[in-house]
Amino acid sequence: MGIRLDKPWEPLTAETVDALPAQLGVFHVADPEGTVLTVGYAGALDLFGMRTALQREIDRHGGAATQFRYEFTSNYRSRWDELLMLHIHDHGELPAHQADEAARVGRLSPQD
Amino acid sequence: MDFTLSDEQQMIVDTTRRFVENEIAPLELELDPDAGALAPADFERLVAMTKDMGFYGLDIPEAYGGPGLDTTTRALMAIEMSKHRAGLYNPCYGTFGGAGLAQLYEATDAQKERWLYPTLRGEKKGCFALTEPSGGSDPARAIQTKGMQDGAEWVLNGSKLYISGADKADYALVFARTSDDPGRNGVTAFIVDTDTPGFHVRRVVHTLRATHYATELQFEDMRVPEENILGEVNGGFAIANDRLSRQRIPYAAGCIGPAIKAQEMAIEWAKSRTTFDSLLAEKQAIQWMLVDNEIDIRHARYCILEAAQKADSGERFRTEAAMAKLVASEAAGRVVDRCIQIHGGVGVTKDLPLERWYRELRIRRVGEGPSEVQKLIMARDILGGSFK
């Protein structure tokens, strides 16, 4: 089983986000070139789960964020940490607004 | 046995209980239900408090600057420290400090300088890499990671599974087979810096426990200098086994805190929730669940304290520790299960800590030796050494 979040990108709009189930999970938000702007999770404190978390990303990035991909999981905390570590492995650093998380998470060297 | 607490023990229990109720529980109201850490500022503030209380580094031996608690007092504290949402696997979010890997107290002076003392100062973290994909209940025979000597170095190849903290560790205690002996006499313990070429953390292993996850490791032609061997060549399993025995009492005690807290919540709920024109507390079905909970909790507590007192008095306590681990992990699971049933729908939501305890307690029946292995240990002691 692969450990990367590599599902197809979907357009990040209020309509697509509203159509999602209010479930827990993890996601990537990216710009039109596919550069990941946020490695995020929808947790139990997000009132409508994935919908609430992604709406927050729309508010954070405005028009810069145009697409997202996601995965529903109740293990959103450990899966989020795994995705953060994978991002550091692949890109050397986290998106700027998440830089503080780098001190908290560990490191992975996945078999590609 | 006399389970009456001394004045000092009662004071320590009360202080720890107040710390959890006044400092930890309020912070959890704002945290994600599966959170595994406090905000850094809160963590630092609470560490300063536990240091002021003289409780920081609970498990550090007195000779190394620890508070020198006996096993009974430590078990009583473990019960109190686990009475919150994250308490089972992260009691008080680590604000009472750690002791590092207990095996390092048996290390050489040079090894202590390099790994133990920096760990006690909070500068380094270690992890314990014993279990392999080939099995964890019988590690002495399951270990397939191979160590081959090459001059003054050893070359390790193999993999490890369910290793907690490896992704954040600065070093790992790695057990490898270093002779043709297929059992416990062919295993050596190596202290390996995690930046050693060939040391790989391949993936996070997702389990019922959403924080403090485990990892899978792979070693590829990992070269370890011979001065990194802990203890004797082929004498590593005794080092691993010693940890497994010592851990069982506080591990058992940590199961009971959430069970006690769940029972308190269920009693409060039963006395306030009305169905079919009467309180839940007035219904025999609920009363009997609460009574069964009380029996489970008290039984487990007695087993834990008996094991702890035997350990403190220098008596053999292997059977008692195994019994405490088995009874506490199974009893706590039953208690939380009943408390969810009493709460009904809200019991399975993330609004309450019950669902997290329910998931995480299931692991406790497997971790640190499953119930069946505890029975095996007790059977060996009851029947005598010839029955193996």
C-beta of residue A61 within 8 angstroms of C-beta of residue A37: yes
- Note the pLDDT of residue B385: 63
pLDDT at B212: 83
Position A2 confidence tier, pLDDT thresholds 50, 70, 90 = confident
The three-point CA angle B61-B63-B69 to 5° equals: 40
Lowest-confidence range among B132-141, B263-272, B341-350?
A: B132-141
- Verify whether residue B368 is a known catalytic residue: yes
Mutation for A interface: B93, B203, B355, most A CBs within 10 A = B203
Question: Which chain A residue lies closest to B349 (C-alpha atoms)?
Answer: A44
The mean pLDDT value for B286-302 works out to 98
Determine phi and psi for B382, rounding to 5 degrees: -70, -40
User: Does residue A4 form part of some domain?
Assistant: no
pLDDT band at A1 (very low <50, low <70, confident <90, very high): low
pLDDT of B207: 93
Stretch 191-210 of chain B: residues touching chain A, C-beta under 8 Å: 200-204, 206-207, 209-210
Average of per-residue pLDDT across B140-152:
93
> Under an 8 A CB cutoff, do B36 and A45 touch?
no
The 10s digit of each residue's pLDDT in A80-89 is 999 999 999 9
Q: Is the pLDDT of residue B100 over 80?
A: no
Q: Which amino acid, one-letter code, is at B54? A: G
Classify residue A80: in a domain, yes or no: yes
pLDDT band at B118 (very low <50, low <70, confident <90, very high): very high
For residue A43, the chain B residues in CB contact (below 8 A) are 32-34
pLDDT in tens, A43-75: 999 999 999 999 999 999 989 999 999 999 999
Please judge whether A106 and B35 are an interchain contact, meaning their C-beta atoms are less than 8 angstroms apart.
Answer: no
Type and span of the H or E element at A58: helix A49-61
Q: Do B204 and A3 touch (CB under 8 A)?
A: yes
User: Has residue B144 got a pLDDT over 90?
Assistant: yes
Distance between B207 CA and the closest CA of chain A, angstroms: 8
B-chain CB neighbours of A76 within 8 Å are: 34, 210
What is the pLDDT, as a whole number, of residue B376? 94
| Distance (Å, whole) CA B186 – CA A79 | 37
Give the pLDDT of residue B68.
Answer: 85
Note the pLDDT tens digit of each residue in B193-228: 999 999 999 999 999 998 888 999 999 999 999 999
Residues of chain A contacting B90 with CB distance shorter than 8 Å: none
Query: Contacts of residue B201 in chain A, CB cutoff 8 Å?
Result: 106-109
Shortest Cα distance, chain B CAs vs residue A71, angstroms = 14
Read off the pLDDT of each residue in B40-46 and give the average, rounded to a whole number. 96
Asked whether the beta carbons of residue B34 and residue A82 sit closer than 8 angstroms, the reply is: no
How close B298 gets to chain A, by Cα (Å)?
Answer: 33
Residue A17 confidence (pLDDT): 96
Domain that holds residue A28: 10-103
| Residue A110 counted as domain residue | no
Helix (H, G, I), strand (E, B) or coil at B81: helix
What sections of chain B are H helices per DSSP? 7-19, 25-28, 40-53, 71-81, 109-111, 117-120, 139-142, 236-270, 284-312, 318-343, 354-364, 371-383
In whole angstroms, give the CA distance from residue B171 to residue B160. 14
Phi, psi (rounded to 5 degrees) for B67: -75, -10
A1 located within any domain? no
CB atoms within 10 A of CB B277: 6
What are the residues of chain A with a beta carbon less than 8 Å away from any beta carbon of chain B?
Answer: 3, 43-45, 73-79, 81-82, 85, 104-111
A2 part of a folded domain? no
Residue A77, H or E segment: helix A76-91
Mean pLDDT of chain B: 93
Q: pLDDT tens, B255-264?
A: 999 999 999 9
Substitution target in B93, B195, B204 with the highest count of A β-carbons within 10 Å is B204
Q: Can you give the pLDDT at residue B244?
A: 67
Portion of chain B with pLDDT greater than 90, in percent = 81
pLDDT of B145 above 70: yes
Q: Find the range with the poorest average confidence among B59-63, B173-177, B220-224.
A: B59-63
Q: What is the pLDDT of residue B242?
A: 65
Number of structural domains chain A divides into? 1
Residue A54 falls inside a structural domain: yes
| pLDDT score at B268 | 98
DSSP state of B228: G
Instruction: Give B88's pLDDT tier (boundaries 50, 70, 90).
Output: very high
DSSP state of A32: T
Instruction: Find the CATH number of the domain harbouring A37.
Output: 3.40.1440
Please give the share of chain B, as a percent, with pLDDT higher than 70: 97
pLDDT, one tens digit per residue, over A19-51 is 999 999 999 999 999 999 999 999 999 999 999
Please say whether the beta carbons of B139 and B175 come within 8 A: yes
Task: Supply the pLDDT for residue B87.
Answer: 97
* Closest by Cβ to A104, choosing from B37, B201, B218: B37
> Which domains does chain B carry?
7-103 (1.10.540), 126-230 (2.40.110.10), 238-383 (1.20.140.10)
Buried b (16+ CB within 10 A) or exposed e, B189-205: bbbbebebeebbbbbbb
